[in-house]
Structure 1
Amino acid sequence: MSSSHQQRLDAEFRAASRVTIIGMVLDALLGVLKCFGGWLFHSQALLVDGIHSFTDVISDLVVLAVMKLSRREPDSDHPYGHQRFETLGTMVLGSFLIAIGGALAWDNTWRMLSGMPLTVPGWPVLAIALVSVAGKEWIFRYTRRVGEHIRSDLIVANAWHSRTDAFSSIVVLVGAAGAMAGFPWLDAVAAIVIAVIIAHVGWQLAWNSVRELVDTGLSDEDTDLLRTAAADTEGVLNVHDLRSRRMGSDILVDVHLVVKPEISVSEGHQIGMQVIRRMRDTLPHIRLINFHIDAENDQRGTITTQQLPTRREIHGVFREGLPELDTVKHHLRLHYLGNQVHVELFTDAPDARLPSPEQITAKLGHPAWLGSLKVWQPGNVS
């Protein structure tokens, strides 16, 4: 990994740590205020909302630990980096929220169905809920801005977790106001709604993380954009087998590019480098692109197999069938196409008396693998 890339990761970790610690302190203060206020002023919804705030504290601790791990530079065990730790942390956080939301929803549903007396909340519940809405909306906007800037799905997810806390405080307002207006069951219903909100956010976080951990590819729209960028590159005849996956906030891509079979290896590589540039211009979050240069479209059924002879074996066949090659300086250029080998024989001696390609093919015994033969000599092409 380059030093500039590691410096970017370190800067991202510092920004993520700063906003997460600020949010954690706010969550802890609101959690204490809401739990104490819910217990003192008889609001089950506010009490559940306070528990929700404490889950934010736990999630903030998870975020800090995971961000530290995910921003470490690659090592021998993790050559592609540690960004998957961020995905794993998001899944753990989502699973935790599902469990908390389910437990709170069940507890308050049982409380309503059991016929337990429902109390009417006091007016300070409204004030505490308003403070919570204002505080959580502010930390949501701040955290989301930082998460989008450093391209961290985990930080953005944590921001939306804060937004759900603001939504749940609005539910507390409605429930408490309804209970004060003569509908005491509304406070219990509000507590259940908040619990469902917690579980729903947890499900979204966990499901998106599972999709990434099983290497779900980019959307069809993004894949088409990348395919078009590659296909429009000069020298590319066809694009196939384009695959992608995510690793944290980064995108990894593998692509096969069909080029003209007669071009050089270096030209094929240069075409691939141009494809990389165009793809990264299309989707800036791409970190790694592996391209494979194909001289033929191996999706059409006629695929060059491993059964064809190697360069050493072909050279041996030529030297055995054409002994005069030992007296001149020469080299072979091989093209493995259509399940055959097309050979170009180059010599540097203009006065070398070599047979015609047809005669050479006959001397070699008309091997089945030989597709065509060209002989190149200074001043003579056959």
Structure 2
Amino acid sequence: MELYTNLRAGEKGAWLSIGTYIFLSAMKLIVGYVGTSSALMADGLNNTTDIIASIAVLVGLRISQKPPDSNHPYGHLRAETVASLVASFIMMGVGLQVIVSTIQNLWNQTHEAPSLLTAFVAIFSAVIMYGVYRYNLALANRIKSSAVKAAAYDNRSDALVSIGAAIGIFGAIFGVPILDKITALIVGIIIIKTAIEIFWEAVQTLTDAFDIDEAETLWKLIENVEEVISLVDLKGRSHGNMSFIDVTVTVNPQLNVRESHAITEKIEHTVKHFNPYCMVLVHIEPHELVQATEEDYHF
């Protein structure tokens, strides 16, 4: 099935992120410690959490590939959303740790300027992370994976953090040493902001929120399907990169079962053409019955 093939393809993005984060976090922590840069060390600590977050995404993608069973009739597609939720908590904890430790260090009056090497490491890291972001974003758009897209946005955030760290380091080198620690504070705030955004998107999915614009588009498309008299109701929810739609439409009450079934197939084809990763359940109602029901409740 193409859906599970795409989930396996999404693992490539997770593995790329994990490998890149392991390399960059080790380099930043070592160079930041030797070169006395709080900003670079905070950036490196941020990347260590990204390793855990990427592993969580990888595990979620693996679990999502499990087929439906008796306890999960819709499959395990929301596992990647749960993984994103777990990753957001990890990032939040590290962001708070960076802020607390940096505030404690602000009271230290001996602000030693970091070495120039730390600035170059931060710039190098920003370039690498931007490349990983572009790869994962293209992959996420191709396979329609919310988890890989969240990982891509995290990659972009890390690139921006590294740029900010470089600016802070250069400022500290050229006469304002405390600027390095101020930048570390900003890094912590960016980590928390990214964690909140990932958390909010995961919560929206897990509570069955559905994109309003997509719902409106689907409503118009289904209303225009031949032989559909009216669209009475439309509900939607997301499971990973899949959408499940329930619709109720009215048709000519004189149609037989075969003709009514043909209409449901037209609706399914229309929805699939709009979104290949959308499953639709169609409920057919005779139009006269719906009209009578509406009149019963009209005062």
TM range (shorter): over 0.9
Q: What's the offset of the Cα at 1:43?
A: 0.5
Q: Are 2:282 and 1:291 equivalent residues in the alignment?
A: yes
Equivalent position amino acid for 1:249 in 2: N
Q: How does 1:234-273 map onto structure 2 within 5 Å? A: 234-273=226-265
Q: What's the offset of the Cα at 1:106?
A: 2.3
Provide the residue aligned with 2:210 in structure 1. 217
Contact map agreement 2:35 2:114 (CA 8 A) in 1: yes
**Which shifted more, 80-89 or 91-100?**
91-100
Equivalent position amino acid for 2:258 in 1: S
Alpha-carbon distance between aligned partners in 2 of 1:293 and 1:15, rounded to the nearest angstrom: 38
The 3-state SS of whatever aligns with 2:294 is coil
**Which contiguous aligned blocks of 4+ residues in structure 1 show a shift greater than 3 angstroms?**
none
Contact map agreement 1:241 1:255 (CA 8 A) in 2: yes
The 3-state SS of whatever aligns with 1:297 is helix
Equivalent position amino acid for 1:179 in 2: A
Q: TM-score under structure 2 normalisation?
A: 0.93
Q: Are 2:96 and 1:102 equivalent residues in the alignment?
A: yes
Contact map agreement 2:208 2:237 (CA 8 A) in 1: yes
Alpha-carbon distance between aligned partners in 2 of 1:217 and 1:169, rounded to the nearest angstrom: 34
82, 85, 95: which one aligns with 1:91: 85
Q: What's the offset of the Cα at 1:149?
A: 1.6
**Which shifted more, 141-150 or 14-23?**
14-23
Q: What's the offset of the Cα at 1:115?
A: 4.5
Alpha-carbon distance between aligned partners in 1 of 2:135 and 2:66, rounded to the nearest angstrom: 25
CA deviations 1:268-324 (Å, max 9, x no partner) are: 2211211111122223331x1111111132761538xxxxxxxxxxxxxxxxxxxxx
Equivalent position amino acid for 2:154 in 1: H
CA deviations 1:305-353 (Å, max 9, x no partner) are: xxxxxxxxxxxxxxxxxxxxxxxxxxxxxxxxxxxxxxxxxxxxxxxxx
Contact map agreement 1:225 1:282 (CA 8 A) in 2: no
Contact map agreement 2:228 2:251 (CA 8 A) in 1: yes
Q: TM-score under structure 1 normalisation?
A: 0.74
Q: What's the offset of the Cα at 1:12?
A: 2.4
165, 177, 180: which one aligns with 1:184: 177
The 3-state SS of whatever aligns with 1:252 is strand
Equivalent position amino acid for 1:85 in 2: A
CA deviations 1:119-154 (Å, max 9, x no partner) are: 211111111112101111111111222222221111
Provide the residue aligned with 1:45 in structure 2. 39
Alpha-carbon distance between aligned partners in 2 of 1:211 and 1:259, rounded to the nearest angstrom: 34
Alpha-carbon distance between aligned partners in 1 of 2:5 and 2:251, rounded to the nearest angstrom: 41
The 3-state SS of whatever aligns with 2:144 is coil
Question: What is the percent sequence identity of the aligned residues?
Answer: 26
Provide the residue aligned with 1:31 in structure 2. 25
Question: Of the two, which has the highest radius of gyration?
Answer: 1
The 3-state SS of whatever aligns with 1:118 is coil
CA RMSD in angstroms, aligned pairs only: 1.6
Q: What's the offset of the Cα at 1:91?
A: 0.9
Structure 2: give runs of 5+ residues left out of the alignment: none
Equivalent position amino acid for 1:123 in 2: L
Q: Are 2:5 and 1:11 equivalent residues in the alignment?
A: yes
147, 152, 170: which one aligns with 2:145: 152
Alpha-carbon distance between aligned partners in 2 of 1:143 and 1:95, rounded to the nearest angstrom: 22
